[in-house]
Amino acid sequence: MDPIQRLQESLIDRRTENVRYRQNQLQSLHATLCNSANLICNSIAEDAQVESSNAEAETEYYLSMNAVKHFYEGLGFEKSINDEYLIATGIDNPQRQVGYGLVIIRPTTHTRLYSIVCPLAAALAAGNVVVIELPDTLLKVDAILKEVLPEALDPDTFVISAKLIEDPSILLSSLLVDQTSATTTTTIANSLSSQNKHRTIAIVDRTADIEAAAKAIVTARFKFQGASPYSPDLVIVNEYVKDEFFATCSKYASQMFVSGVKAKRSRSNAEAETKKFFEDAIAKEQLSTFRFADCILAHVTDSTCLVTEIKIHGCYLPIVTSTSMVDAIIKEMRYIYTTINSNFKALNLLVIRSNLLAAYIFAQPPEAKFLAQHLKAHLTVINQIPVNLLVGPAAPCGIAMEYKYRYSPEMFSIQRPQYIHALPTELSVVDEHLVPGRNPNGTTKVKQLRSLATRKLPGTGQSQGHDIGFFEQGILLGLGVVLSIVVPAAGWGLWAVGKKVRSSM
């Protein structure tokens, strides 16, 4: 029997709706991954092919196991039974959700373990059957997962596919988790698609803690081979603190690569393309660079430099300076939309904004608030870059960002609310006009309904008042200047002229 057909048949018996079944599946997944910890971590480190990758491998493994634990703990047997019988006891069940059905996971290669395990655990917790697409690759972690995952999970509800699923009849009835952004999902009715091409920026204001900002930004850009979609692609730093920021970044970068040993791995196509952009910019003298092993800190001196407009892959960190908070926002937009007229006023530019995957703002809270409200970012984080963001794919676009785990069981569920109580009076009043037998006094009732529909809204509670606003303050200040300086000067001038006229007579 075709494996996909077997999964579809399993949906008919609805076994995945049973909370005990879901708990057992997650228990088995967690136990199997625990037993294979050494194999998994060693394979991740070997795939990375860089020195000091063991710490990154252990970090990815921990976050993957923590995700399984988190989704398991979100399942409560007693609560699920109580919710199931709410209608039977005369109580509404407006939050009822059921699993989507068939979930297809198309994982990214970045932090492969987490990118597979996290959505897998969330989908299982929501009550779905799951397919993971794992075509043949050179990744050692793939070989390990192809062995251990089928051992852990029910073959009637879980399958690993060695090829991409392209059958429209399957895709149209499935939920596709596409972390690669390589597939056009416009013809797919339902998908959780990562926007890996959207850029991430960091803004360092003059009010920032420079030490903390530099440490977080250098770590985020250079760890995990600079492959995370949440690594900052551009840093905009206030010119008042630029020297201190550059010096501090250099300090942390040199500490990170103190051995000076270069990576043994081969560059990806995307990283090779980024390298070419930097080499071209250096040849054109558009930036100055500071090198640490295979990593580059770049001070961009020419605003037309293309490295400020691209998604960065690899250990490259371009930095530009700004003169103010508004200038920082204008630069963020200019480096995305190069066709924006440079003569636009700042307020016009604030309206035309780019879509950012994430924005990291390092500033005091009042300044951070101003900057954050003018950035069109899927996620904004103040004075930190959590390491867990660097692990895993870009969050699915078009839905609320799941800050901690990137995915949630709700993303793999469909709302199926149930109601037993009548609607509130302001809505049920129409029953008397449409339901047969409830409107014996037709014309009178219609007039009452019109009266209710045209009833005035309550006031806002704001009094007229006479508070002095920003513009009123300017007017009064101008009048004050006129009254205190111009009028006395004019009076003195008139007196002097009058005195001169009298003395000449």
d(CA 319, CA 255): 19
Task: Give the per-residue pLDDT at 344.
Answer: 34
Whole-model pTM?
Answer: 0.84
* CATH assignment of 199-390, among 3.40.309.10, 3.40.190.10, 1.10.645.10, 3.40.50.970: 3.40.309.10
CA distances from 476 to 235, 466, 469 (A): 42, 14, 10
Residue with tokens 């392209």: 166
Average pLDDT over residues 426-455: 73
Q: What is the pLDDT of residues 164-219, one digit of tens each?
A: 998 888 898 899 999 997 655 455 668 899 988 899 999 999 999 999 999 999 99
DSSP state of 441: S
The Cα 403–Cα 22 span in angstroms is 24
Residue closest to 22 by CA, chosen among 95, 81, 71: 71
Mean pLDDT, range 97-119, rounded to an integer: 95
Helical residues (DSSP H) of 257-343, grouped into ranges = 269-283, 325-334
For residue 432, give the nearest of 421, 442, 420, 447 by alpha carbon: 442
82-91 pLDDT tens trace: 988 999 999 9
**CB neighbourhood size of 278 (10 A):** 22
pLDDT, position 304: 83
Identify which of 304, 307, 305 has the alpha carbon closest to the alpha carbon of residue 296: 307
Given this model, what pLDDT does residue 384 score? 96
Token reading at 125: 């917790």
Percent of all residues in the chain with a pLDDT value above 70, rounded to a whole number:
82
The DSSP output letter for 309 is T
Residue with the bigger pLDDT between 418 and 437: it is 418
- CA separation for the pair 207, 389 (Å, rounded): 25
> DSSP secondary structure string, 249-277?
HHHHHHHHTTT-PPP-SPPPHHHHHHHHH
CA dist 75 and 368 (Å) reads 37
Please state the domain extents for the chain: 3-196+407-415, 199-390
CA distances 293 to 53, 229, 262, 275, 360, Å, are 15, 22, 5, 14, 26
Count other C-beta atoms under 10 Å from residue 349's C-beta.
21
- The CATH class for the domain spanning 3-196+407-415 reads alpha beta
Phi, psi of 97 (to 5 degrees): -135, 150
Reported as a pLDDT band with limits 50, 70 and 90, residue 346 is very low
What is the reported pLDDT for 345?
Answer: 37
Query: Tens of pLDDT along 360-393?
Result: 999 999 999 988 888 889 999 999 999 999 999 9
What is the distance between the alpha carbons of residues 226 and 369, in angstroms, rounded to a whole number? 28
Q: Give the pLDDT confidence score for residue 347 in this predicted structure.
A: 33
pLDDT tens for 215-249 read 999 999 999 989 999 999 999 999 899 999 999 99
Cα 375 to the center of its chain, rounded Å? 13
Res 349: pLDDT: 37
pLDDT score for 27? 97
Quote the tokens at residue 48: 């990375």
Q: How confident is the model at residue 58 (pLDDT cuts 50, 70, 90)?
A: very high
- Side-chain-side CA neighbours of 296 within 13 Å: the count stands at 22
Q: What is the pLDDT of residues 247-289, one digit of tens each?
A: 999 999 888 876 444 445 556 788 888 888 888 888 888 888 8
Mean pLDDT rounded to a whole number for the chain = 84
Please tell me the total number of residues recorded for the chain in this structure.
Answer: 505
